[in-house]
Structure 1
């Protein structure tokens, strides 16, 4: 059975964000983590949602953004 879920990342260092580190730092300063994520930090949540362990998880958007939605 297929599931449909999404990950909503916060400010993250990637090749595509090179050159805008200052903007990312400003965004990250407003979150409880107070830092910019590394792209590798998105892997665990993605693997979980793609794994059979999450077979009963359907239709969610998982924030992976340093706690910004918690404040």
Structure 2
């Protein structure tokens, strides 16, 4: 999600990515953030050109704009 991670969650994520990185294991990471917006501790692993391939995909959001989401929510049947 977009919420801030707890220190525990950040540490676990770092441990997981660091293990996979040092073991040369493939890992796919998707994000809507620009690389410069990602925390440096993660960005250094993600952007290592000797081990990583960066692929930027520029496309409209799958969910649509915020106003489109709100319109769909108003039209949805209530349970």
* TM range, smaller chain: under 0.3
Normalised TM-score (structure 2):
0.24
Normalised TM-score (structure 1):
0.26
Q: Which has the larger radius of gyration?
A: 2
Higher helix share: 2
Q: Considering Cα pairs closer than 8 Å and 6+ residues apart, tell me whether 1 or 2 has the greater RCO.
A: 1
